[in-house]
Chains A and B, each alone.
Chain A
Amino acid sequence: MKYVDEYRDGSVATQLAAAIAAEADPQRRYAFMEFCGGHTHAISRYGVSDLLPPQVRMIHGPGCPVCVLPIGRIDQAIRLALEHKVTLCAYGDTLRVPASGGMSLLKAKARGGDIRMVYSAADALALARDEPTREVVFFAIGFETTTPPTALVLRQARQLGLRNFSVLCCHVLTPSAIGTILESQEVRQLGTVPIDGFIGPAHVSTVIGSRPYEFFAEEYRKPVVIAGFEPLDVMQAILMLVRQVNEGRCEVENEFTRAVNRDGNLKAQQHVSEVFELRKSFEWRGLGLVPYSALRIRSAYAEWDAERRYALDYQGVADHKACECGAILRGVKKPTDCKLFATVCTPDNPMGSCMVSSEGGCAAHYTYGRFRERVA
């Protein structure tokens, strides 16, 4: 596969690993957060951590929209299917997320809910078009990468005057999440963030561009390197971050130049701002209430807003008291620091956001990296 295989070359990985080891100062520790769940996945799946010198550590950030989706939102989706009897279309990632009362979308399906997995928002719209007597709701989750398709689908629904289609909007915003991490109480207490730099998301950045990260680099004096999705991209980005730290620079650099520029996809941004507006605050699982961090559907599109259409109210549901996801998401604790990790909390029985999907830090460690805890 062109533009994929070349970026997974093991012999080039060895060279990059040697370069990182050569340039990382043995006297200091480097902690970099890869914000994006896709990067967490790449690091785990290819075993990138094995190729880094011991003083360079990766921290898994909250960039998995499924992980940070609060229980209360899944509850809403389940209510739509079981109580309002709609046909609920959702991405595969959401189906197993545990909600209140031991339920999940998959379990709701078993109870008779008409819940269907779709690859694309367009498939949900097509279903509504093909069957005008069927009430279809699309469960829209995701960061800025996934939002433009939802915007397009809402525009189309309005153009077509569809009467049987709506969207439950749970889209969230990357810069707000980064800001929350940087503004965490550890920062206020210690005056420093335990993170030396960020690997910026790959595909979110194709949409929003590299400009939004400049604020964080300047304000919080943290380097950001936007990296492509493949393991060589990640390693190159780590090398660039090590260099920035060594040289005392705090810039936004772009490793993913083949798909990302400073402005991003203006057409996509335009469609999004036409259809959505900022919510004043939104609950993120593991991070609590975060201001201006999520989107809701504008009143011009109210007819296609499932929250309004079905008068859904939102009830927050707290995580287990012993759950350390908040601290883990901020890079202050590791999965193994949490009492629940691998005891009560496993991928089969996730207690908090970090275990809910395979991109969560705890899930990634459990599924891919647990063998590292043992003495070799």
Chain B
Amino acid sequence: MSRRAYVRPLDLKHGCVDLSHGAGGRAMQQLIDELFAPAFKSALAADDIARGDDGAVLPPLGAGERMVIATDSHVVSPLFFPGGDIGSLAVHGTVNDVAMMGARPLYLSVGFILEEGFALAELARIVASMGAAARAAGVRIVTGDTKVVEQGNGDGVFVNTTGLGALPAARSLSGAYARAGDSILLSGSIGDHGMAIMSRRESLAFDSEIESDSAALHELVAAMLAAVPSSAECDDPERGLRLLRDPTRGGLASTLNEIAVQSDVGIQLQESALTVKPQVAAACEFLGLDPLYVANEGKLLAVCASADAPRLLAAMRAHPLGAEASVIGEVVEDAQHFVQMHTRFGGRRNVDWLSGEQLPRIC
């Protein structure tokens, strides 16, 4: 299609978002044409966004496959942090949500809410990062939306991504499927993402090499399911993978508590099986934070029949994103849904739900 004639191209170096960019007129179209569409250009087929329709038509799924949909909104501050930015985070987060269902992520939609005055140069960086993350993950960004709010009503950029994926026939994973006797596996170190964010927060800032672990986990998931299929797909329904979950906000502790309630079970953890990178541990010490409650963006929890744990662990460790995987505990009977941990020290403690966000403390 022919390029529209604009008065002048977007000033990506010094320009700012203004209210006209969200108004649906020529300014918004220019933003799409010059900023979003080139960044979201997929290595695969036609550029749906550049075509300019209200929605995207998607090809049918494979025989027996069911559609999985997941959505995530991202309001992280700061927008840029060691190891990533809100753009790559938005792609990884939704790709992972789809993957945790056992589905193959295929398409993403992107919704932006931009604050008036936000620098176009920063927007360009974020958008380029999103495009790169999507291409690396093999997903296509096929449709989107932009709105602009008045200055003071937003944190620069809010992003929503919605993802669609294909779930093979017969596969079923759910947080409600854990049973007493099952093993719990974790793909790697905890606390990296949350502490990377903390390291850039005013007043709390510290110097370190901590980087966010933000990553797309769908290929790790595919390798895991190839080794240990979901229980629904196994000849013996006592065997197999019960669930996958990524411990994001609220950390490992919150996710485990959610599972305990959802599955009506209890959980016993071994602290010595958890991995915390030395600098993450040190940063937590400085601020009085417990790594169990710190966010992760590139890790997953898996619950499987205990007989399948060695095979699952081997499959995880064979993949770069699961190289430090370990069995961290087991599921037990418990009507009160306690998550208990045997500490490295030799004692035991509850790992309770958090009430609200964990805050740095002086006490």
Question: Which of chain A's residues have a CB closer than 8 A to the CB of B342?
Answer: 47
How far is B342's CA from A37's CA once the two chains are assembled, in angstroms? 22
The answer to whether B338 has its CB under 8 Å from any CB of chain A is: yes
Identify B345's interface contact among A1, A231, A359, CB under 8 A.
Answer: A231
How far is B290's CA from A367's CA once the two chains are assembled, in angstroms? 13
Closest Cβ of chain A: how far from B348's Cβ, in Å? 5
Question: Which of chain A's residues have a CB closer than 8 A to the CB of B349?
Answer: 44-47, 368-369
Identify A45's interface contact among B281, B343, B362, CB under 8 A.
Answer: B343
Closest Cβ of chain B: how far from A116's Cβ, in Å? 8
Minimum CB distance partner of B266 in chain A: A371
Proximity bits, A194-234, B CB within 8 Å = 1, else 0: 00000000000000000000000000000000000001000
Minimum CB distance partner of B345 in chain A: A46
How far is B348's CA from A175's CA once the two chains are assembled, in angstroms? 32
Decide: B285 and A4 in contact? CB cutoff 8 A: yes
Minimum CB distance partner of B205 in chain A: A119
Total A-B pairs in contact (CB under 8 Å)? 103
How far is B257's CA from A367's CA once the two chains are assembled, in angstroms? 13
Decide: B203 and A118 in contact? CB cutoff 8 A: yes
The answer to whether A347 has its CB under 8 Å from any CB of chain B is: yes
The answer to whether B360 has its CB under 8 Å from any CB of chain A is: yes
Question: Which of chain A's residues have a CB closer than 8 A to the CB of B338?
Answer: 370-371
Decide: B361 and A92 in contact? CB cutoff 8 A: yes
Question: Which of chain B's residues have a CB closer than 8 A to the CB of A13?
Answer: 345-346
How far is B290's CA from A358's CA once the two chains are assembled, in angstroms? 12
Question: Which of chain A's residues have a CB closer than 8 A to the CB of B344?
Answer: 8, 10, 46
Question: Which of chain B's residues have a CB closer than 8 A to the CB of A51?
Answer: 345-347
Q: A10-B346, A47-B349 are in contact. Are A347 and B355 (CB under 8 A)?
A: yes
Chain B interface extent, by class: 20 to 34
The answer to whether B20 has its CB under 8 Å from any CB of chain A is: no
Question: Which of chain B's residues have a CB closer than 8 A to the CB of A17?
Answer: 346
Minimum CB distance partner of A40 in chain B: B363
Question: Which of chain B's residues have a CB closer than 8 A to the CB of A231?
Answer: 345
Decide: B350 and A368 in contact? CB cutoff 8 A: yes
The answer to whether B169 has its CB under 8 Å from any CB of chain A is: no
Q: A1-B281, A371-B338, A374-B336 are in contact. Are A359 and B363 (CB under 8 A)?
A: yes
Minimum CB distance partner of B335 in chain A: A374
Decide: B363 and A96 in contact? CB cutoff 8 A: no
The answer to whether A91 has its CB under 8 Å from any CB of chain B is: yes
Q: A117-B203, A119-B204, A368-B352 are in contact. Are A48 and B345 (CB under 8 A)?
A: yes
Proximity bits, B285-300, A CB within 8 Å = 1, else 0: 1011010000000000
How far is B285's CA from A95's CA once the two chains are assembled, in angstroms? 20
How far is B342's CA from A20's CA once the two chains are assembled, in angstroms? 21
How far is B360's CA from A92's CA once the two chains are assembled, in angstroms? 5
Closest Cβ of chain A: how far from B69's Cβ, in Å? 32
Identify A146's interface contact among B287, B336, B355, B362, CB under 8 A.
Answer: B362
Closest Cβ of chain A: how far from B165's Cβ, in Å? 35
The answer to whether A6 has its CB under 8 Å from any CB of chain B is: no
Question: Which of chain A's residues have a CB closer than 8 A to the CB of B170?
Answer: none
Decide: B363 and A367 in contact? CB cutoff 8 A: no
The answer to whether A180 has its CB under 8 Å from any CB of chain B is: no
Within 8 A of B (CB), among A86-121: 91-93, 95-96, 106, 116-120
How far is B278's CA from A182's CA once the two chains are assembled, in angstroms? 42
Closest Cβ of chain A: how far from B339's Cβ, in Å? 9
Closest Cβ of chain A: how far from B268's Cβ, in Å? 10
Closest Cβ of chain A: how far from B78's Cβ, in Å? 15
Minimum CB distance partner of B348 in chain A: A47
Q: A8-B345, A120-B203 are in contact. Are A142 and B362 (CB under 8 A)?
A: yes
How far is B357's CA from A106's CA once the two chains are assembled, in angstroms? 11
Question: Which of chain B's residues have a CB closer than 8 A to the CB of A151?
Answer: none
Minimum CB distance partner of A367 in chain B: B352
Q: A4-B285, A119-B204, A371-B340 are in contact. Are A64 and B345 (CB under 8 A)?
A: no
The answer to whether B46 has its CB under 8 Å from any CB of chain A is: no
How far is B359's CA from A116's CA once the two chains are assembled, in angstroms? 12
Closest Cβ of chain B: how far from A361's Cβ, in Å? 14
Decide: B347 and A123 in contact? CB cutoff 8 A: no
The answer to whether B356 has its CB under 8 Å from any CB of chain A is: yes
Decide: B356 and A96 in contact? CB cutoff 8 A: yes
The answer to whether B282 has its CB under 8 Å from any CB of chain A is: yes
How far is B361's CA from A146's CA once the two chains are assembled, in angstroms? 12
Minimum CB distance partner of B359 in chain A: A92
How far is B31's CA from A167's CA once the two chains are assembled, in angstroms? 48
The answer to whether A263 has its CB under 8 Å from any CB of chain B is: no
How far is B348's CA from A68's CA once the two chains are assembled, in angstroms? 28
How far is B203's CA from A91's CA once the two chains are assembled, in angstroms? 11
Q: Which of B278, B340, B356, B359 is the most central at the interface, judged by chain A CB atoms within 10 Å of its CB?
A: B359
Decide: A95 and B359 in contact? CB cutoff 8 A: yes
The answer to whether A168 has its CB under 8 Å from any CB of chain B is: no
Question: Which of chain A's residues have a CB closer than 8 A to the CB of B350?
Answer: 367-371
Decide: A348 and B355 in contact? CB cutoff 8 A: yes
Question: Which of chain B's residues have a CB closer than 8 A to the CB of A45?
Answer: 290, 343, 349
Question: Which of chain A's residues have a CB closer than 8 A to the CB of B204?
Answer: 117, 119
The answer to whether A50 has its CB under 8 Å from any CB of chain B is: yes
Q: Which of B285, B349, B352, B356 is the most central at the interface, judged by chain A CB atoms within 10 Å of its CB?
A: B349
The 7 closest A-B pairs by CB, nearest first: A47-B347, A92-B359, A50-B347, A46-B345, A348-B355, A368-B349, A92-B360
- Of the A-B pairs whose beta carbons lie under 8 Å apart in the complex, a sample of 11, sorted by A's number, is A8-B344, A45-B343, A46-B347, A47-B342, A96-B355, A116-B203, A118-B203, A119-B203, A123-B203, A142-B363, A368-B349
User: A66-B363, A357-B361, A371-B336 provided; 18 other pairs, C-beta below 8 A?
Assistant: A1-B281, A1-B282, A8-B344, A10-B345, A13-B345, A44-B349, A46-B343, A47-B343, A47-B349, A48-B347, A92-B361, A92-B362, A116-B203, A123-B203, A368-B350, A368-B352, A371-B338, A371-B350
